[in-house]
Structure 1
Amino acid sequence: MSQTSEHHYQRLIEVFERCFKEDHNTVLVAGNDEPYYQPATEEGEPNQVVFAHGFFASALHETAHWCIAGEARRKQFDYGYWYEPDGRNEAQQQSFEQVERKPQALEWLFSLCCGFPFQVSVDNLNGVEVDRQLFTAKVAEQLNHLLEEKTLPPRAAKFAKALCHDFNCSWPSGQVVNS
């Protein structure tokens, strides 16, 4: 998908910076390759949420991971998480989908808040056959739960509200997605 001026990643960088640079010393950065999180290694240096290839969706996804990560995780490279690359077997894919359900639900919320289309990422092109429709339904269920129970992580709520404001979108209400 090509980026329009409305959905250029620079806008996300600016919104993220307004929300988190001062209070969390963290910036959103367009990377050249794989996405990752880099905690500051020197005094005065910011923590960096690096997204892939300047992709708008990647920026939303990596921001979602950062909004979930607790303080201890935010002190570790890539939050200290494991990552099983493309080519996962069925058990590995199920673990991936379990771990990814919440960040992808937040990514979906962020997408709604800035009027950008969302698509789940199964991230396993060379592995077992994936039921994308089932995974989408599980991510939708997670998003609806977060909104209905008002259990959004505080940083996620702050970023989502800032996106709504900056992109002139309404806050999602009720059952925003149906599986």
Structure 2
Amino acid sequence: MTERIVTVFDRCFSDAEGLNTRLVGGYEEPYYRPADRAPGSVHQIEFTRDYAASALHEAAHWCVAGAERRRQPDYGYWYAPDGRSAAQQAEFERVEVKPQALEWIFSVACGLRFRVSADNLDAGLGPSPAFKRNIWQQVQRYCKCPGEGKPAINDRAITFARALARAFGSPDPLRAERYRLEDLG
């Protein structure tokens, strides 16, 4: 499963114009390493061990990150480890809506069940109902087609979602009716 996800990602983006990015598992913690200036250097998205959910989540962060962010280690994002305060958790939920919405789309494309991650087990704070609702609403926005019939997400996310669906024999994952708030538990 995870090997196929990596293969699909690398086929889409390792040689793509200017993207030069690979998805690599086997790490204790996820991290994004932009390419250095050495010839042949590639951008590397590192995900936890061989977990499919981690691979999809980190690919989602890469899809959300703009060109400037993709030049910075770990996209230059703020991150507080497990054990966040309620205020830090609220900030985490605010910035995680878009990547988790994309992760859900990518999971559906692979035929996997998506689980919302509050990423704060030590504090005993699970994902709030508002966080779940915001993720679902973001998926609905991502799947909404403006005038040209193209989903309202960037080309990298569309490319990856549809390539995953082809590889896993799934229907188009960019159809809003495939996502229900109740599915988020």
For residues 70 and 81 of structure 1, the distance between their equivalents in structure 2, rounded to whole angstroms, comes to 12
Aligned to 1:84, the other structure's residue is in SS state coil
Aligned pair partner of 1:59 in 55, 75, 78: 55
Q: CA deviation at 1:40?
A: 1.0
Aligned pair partner of 1:177 in 168, 176, 179: 179
Would you say the 8 A contact 1:40–1:47 is kept in 2?
A: yes
Aligned pair partner of 2:139 in 135, 139, 143: 143
- Percent identical among aligned pairs is 46
Structure 2: runs of 5+ lacking an equivalent: 146-150
Aligned pair partner of 1:16 in 9, 23, 28: 9
Alignment pair present for 1:158 and 2:159: yes
TM (normalized to structure 1)?
A: 0.91
Would you say the 8 A contact 1:30–1:50 is kept in 2?
A: yes
TM (normalized to structure 2)?
A: 0.88
Structure 1: runs of 5+ lacking an equivalent: 1-7
For residues 175 and 136 of structure 1, the distance between their equivalents in structure 2, rounded to whole angstroms, comes to 17
For residues 21 and 141 of structure 2, the distance between their equivalents in structure 1, rounded to whole angstroms, comes to 28
Aligned to 1:93, the other structure's residue is in SS state helix
Alignment pair present for 1:28 and 2:30: no
The 5-angstrom pairing of residues 67-146 of structure 1 reads: 67-127=63-123, 129-146=125-142
Question: Which region of structure 1 is more displaced relative to structure 2, 131-140 or 169-178?
Answer: 131-140
Could you say what the CA RMSD is over the residues aligned between the two structures, in angstroms? Answer: 1.3
For residues 122 and 62 of structure 1, the distance between their equivalents in structure 2, rounded to whole angstroms, comes to 15
Aligned to 1:31, the other structure's residue is in SS state strand
- Measured at CA, do residues 167 and 95 of structure 1 come closer, stay the same or move farther in structure 2, by a change above 3 Å? same
Aligned to 2:176, the other structure's residue is in SS state coil
Alignment pair present for 1:37 and 2:32: yes
Once the two structures are superposed, residues 49-104 of structure 1 have per-residue CA deviations (whole angstroms, 9 ceiling, x without a partner) of: 00001100000000000011111111110001110111111111010001000000
Once the two structures are superposed, residues 121-169 of structure 1 have per-residue CA deviations (whole angstroms, 9 ceiling, x without a partner) of: 1001112633444422221111011102421121000000100111010
Q: CA deviation at 1:33?
A: 0.4
Aligned length: 172
- Measured at CA, do residues 17 and 133 of structure 1 come closer, stay the same or move farther in structure 2, by a change above 3 Å? same
For residues 111 and 45 of structure 2, the distance between their equivalents in structure 1, rounded to whole angstroms, comes to 22
Would you say the 8 A contact 2:143–2:152 is kept in 1?
A: yes
For residues 139 and 89 of structure 2, the distance between their equivalents in structure 1, rounded to whole angstroms, comes to 20
Residue type of the alignment partner of 1:38: R
